Structures are given as structure tokens and as C-alpha cells.
Amino acid sequence: MAIRLGIMGTGARGSSAYGRWALEHPDRAAVAAVADPLRRRRDRLADEAGVAAAHRYPDWRDLVADAASIGLDALVIALPDRLHLDAALAAVGTGLPILLEKPAATTPEDLEALAAAARESKARIWISHVMRYQPFWRTIRAVVDSGAIGRLVTMRVEENIGFWHYAHSYVRGNWRNLATASPMVLAKTCHDLDVIRWFAGEAPASVASAGSLRYFRPEHAPEGAPDRCLDGCPAADSCPFYAPRYYVEALADTDAWPVALLGDDLTPEGRMAALREGPYGRCVFRSDNDVVDHQQTVVAFPGGLTATLSTSAFTGQNTRTVRLTGTAGEIAGNLRTGALEVDLFSPAAVLPVLTEARVVRRFARAPMGHQAVEVRSGPVDAEGEPDHRGHSGGDEALVDAFITALTAPGGDPGTSLESSLDGHRMAFAAERSRLEGRTIAWEAA
């Protein structure tokens, strides 16, 4: 029997990731109730899923209250960040399994309150850390676990946001302001910190971080720039962040994220109207954003591993890159291409069987002639190019694991709330370090 889902929040994640999976796997899951304050959003998913009119809620609280009478089997929370705690605590009271979009909470106090409530009630809560489910990261993990590169010594992750993505989400969009969202190190890079913690296999010893909002500030606006791009900006031809160039021209053939956030009318005229009136047409130097545009974090672990996480708005590519060094080898990768290069220092070293990757080249690396292997991981499209839809396969695998866990005795998709706590704590410690200008010892985090 299909798992009956109640989805709270039918925006990009609620609809495109969770709701879409159910629509494509009707034998395993069904959307039975939805909640969203915007009627057009909740009805779009509800109409596709055939949700009864009585089970379409403007307020998520009403969905939770009716969960038993509707006959729900699980709850999905994809609401704005600031609502995660209240919704999760209410959902815990139903006794139903919960899939909670990251971050689990936006303050350290709220995170610990949720963890305590979950332990006391023995609630089954999983966090949507999709990176653990991407073939790219699982392939790296398989190589590390095999011992082929020895003991991990360093891990370097670069979260290259992309100048256009940063302007969309963190200057004009939903995650621009601390009062309504959360620090960027939590909102954007809690995925990366979760993966670092996953690879380390232990809690950190210390966390240090530095960064600031350096560029997207009023004093950097071009001379004469108005509050909105379409109000006669004199720098329209040269500004990389001129909104019409992005939403109307460059993405003319796109109606999914990020253009979908403009509204229902995605004709050229509709897009221009949205930019004249809505948040995505604001000058990036005259918005109400206050989150950092670059940040670097260093995490030290008791076993000797050190990890660095660097994130920046000022990158041409929108991808993650990674480099792990071990006592017997090295792994370097680029999520956008799905390419990984594995250097094996020992002549006797052997790669494990990689079920989610394919070997494309073996060669000797100068000057010592040690063996190196190039592999490709992740889904590809009909032309054989990397397919980045659904977080490069992560969304599909995550929801599949969640549904499987609900139907298999003792099932656990691997990103339980408990296993995700340290990644969140690392983000909070990083922000505290950035603000206080000092290294945070883990026991004091």
C-alpha cells in the first residue's frame, strides 16, 4: 500500500522534490494532504495529486491537527526555515514519521529543544541532507571506506555558489535576511558541514570561521542606481546582476527554479511585471539583505583530521569541489561534472568496486609514476551529459530511502535527526566564531 504523505509547504522543495517523487511512484507514495498559505501553490500540487478539497490547508497547523482523521502515514515539512521548529514539534505530537527539510532549526536553543523532544517521544525524524544521497559523495565515501587512500588527513570543500545564484537567493530571495531565515553557513552550507562530519566519523574538537557581507551593500551601488533595476539604472549594460538580463533573457526558456519564484505568469511580459513589483527586481546593492557573501570555516577533529569549508558568492560556476588527502592517496572531484580523480600512492593499492560510478581512464602520474584513476559519477541525460536535476540524483535517492525506511522493519535512511545534530552544531559554532573573532572549542559550542 502506498505511503500517504501530508506535505507542509508546497514551494520548490515541497512540490518539486517530495511531491514530484510521489507522483512518479504512485505504487509507493501518495500526496494525501497539502498545506501552504498561497492557494496557487497548494492547488498546483494538490490538483496533480488528486488531493481532496477538504485536505488542502492554508495553515500547516490544521493539517497536523487532522493527520489522524485523514489517515496519513508520514509528514513532510518543507516550510520556511523559521517555521521548522514549531512545525516539527507539532508533528512529533502525531507520532508519525517526519521528513524535515534542513535546517532542522535556526538557533542552537531550538535545535536542542527539538532533539530533546524527539528523544523523549522516540519520534522518527529524518533531515533532508541530500548530499549524503548523491552518487558523487557516496562514491567518494566508498573509496575512503575501502582504505585505498589510507587514513584521512585533510578535507577541503568549496561551495561555489555562483554570482547569479547568490544574488537570487541571498540578496533578493528567501534567505537574504537573518530575521526571516538563518545565517548562510547554516542555510546554505549545513549540507557541507554534515558531509564533513559524516566523513570524520567523530565530533569536532574546535571550529573557527571568518567572513562578512563585503560587497552587496549600499555604498557599492553604481552612481545613480535606483532601488529597482527597471527604474532606469545607468549601469544596466555593465552590472552582472541586472535582473532582466538574468530572469528574462538568459533564462528565457526556463520556467522551473529559479524563474518559477517570480510568480504564475512567466511570459516575457509577466516576468518584467514581476521584476517591477516583486523582490527579484531590486537592486542588489539596495536590498534588505544582511547575510555574509563569503565565509571560510576550519574544523579540527580529535583524530587529527582537519577540514576546511570555503563558500563565496563570487564564483562563475555553481557547484561544489572537493579534495581529500589521505596517508596513502588523494581524491579530487567536481560535482558539476561528476568527475573524480583518485591518486593511489601504493603500487599494490586497488580501488573498490564502485557501484555508482564508472571508470573512464587509468594512467600513471608523473614524476613517480604512481597510479591514478579518473571516474565519473552521477546521473546523465540522453546525450550522456551530467544531469543536475534533483540535486544530481540526491533528491530521488533521499525520498526513496525515506519511503523504504517506512516500509522496511528497522529501516533508517541514514540522515536521522540524531545523526544530523553535529552538522548543525558546527554551523552554529562557525557563526559564533565569525561574530566573536575566536576559535570555538567543541565542549563550549
Q: In this predicted model, what pLDDT tens digit does every residue of 43-70 receive, in sequence order?
A: 999 999 999 999 999 999 999 999 999 9
Full-model pTM: 0.94
DSSP character at residue 254:
-
Q: What is the pLDDT of residues 264-276, one digit of tens each?
A: 899 999 999 999 9
Delimit the domains of the chain by residue range: 3-127, 132-212+292-391+423-444, 218-281
Instruction: Write out the chain's pLDDT in tens, 445 residues.
Output: 899 999 999 998 999 899 999 999 999 999 999 999 999 999 999 999 999 999 999 999 999 999 999 999 999 999 999 999 999 999 999 999 999 999 999 999 999 999 999 999 999 999 999 999 999 999 999 999 999 999 999 999 999 999 999 999 999 999 999 988 899 999 999 999 999 999 999 999 999 999 999 999 999 999 999 999 999 999 999 999 999 999 999 999 998 889 989 988 999 999 999 999 999 999 999 999 999 999 999 999 999 999 999 999 999 999 999 999 999 999 999 999 999 999 999 999 999 999 999 999 999 999 999 999 999 998 777 666 776 776 778 899 999 999 999 988 666 667 889 999 999 999 999 999 999 999 999 986 7
Q: Which residues contact 42 (CB under 8 A, 6 or more apart)?
A: 10, 34, 35, 36, 56, 57, 58
Q: Give the phi and the psi of residue 20 in degrees, each rounded to 5.
A: -60, -40
Q: How far is CA 312 from CA 216, 296, 297, 408, 432, in A?
A: 12, 9, 12, 41, 19
> Which option is the CATH number for 3-127: 3.40.50.720, 3.30.1120.10, 3.40.47.10, 3.40.50.10490?
3.40.50.720
Residue with grid cell 526513496, as numbered in its chain? 400
- Which backbone phi and psi does 183 adopt, to 5 degrees? -55, 145
- Helix 135-146 to helix 190-200 angle, to the nearest 10 degrees? 20
The model's pLDDT over 388-408, given as tens digits with 9 standing for 90+, comes to 776 778 899 999 999 999 988
CA atoms within 13 A on the CB side of 127: 28
Number of helices (H) and strands (E), helices first, in the chain?
Answer: 15, 16
Architecture field, domain 132-212+292-391+423-444: 2-Layer Sandwich (3.30)
Residues 6+ apart with CB under 8 A from 54: none
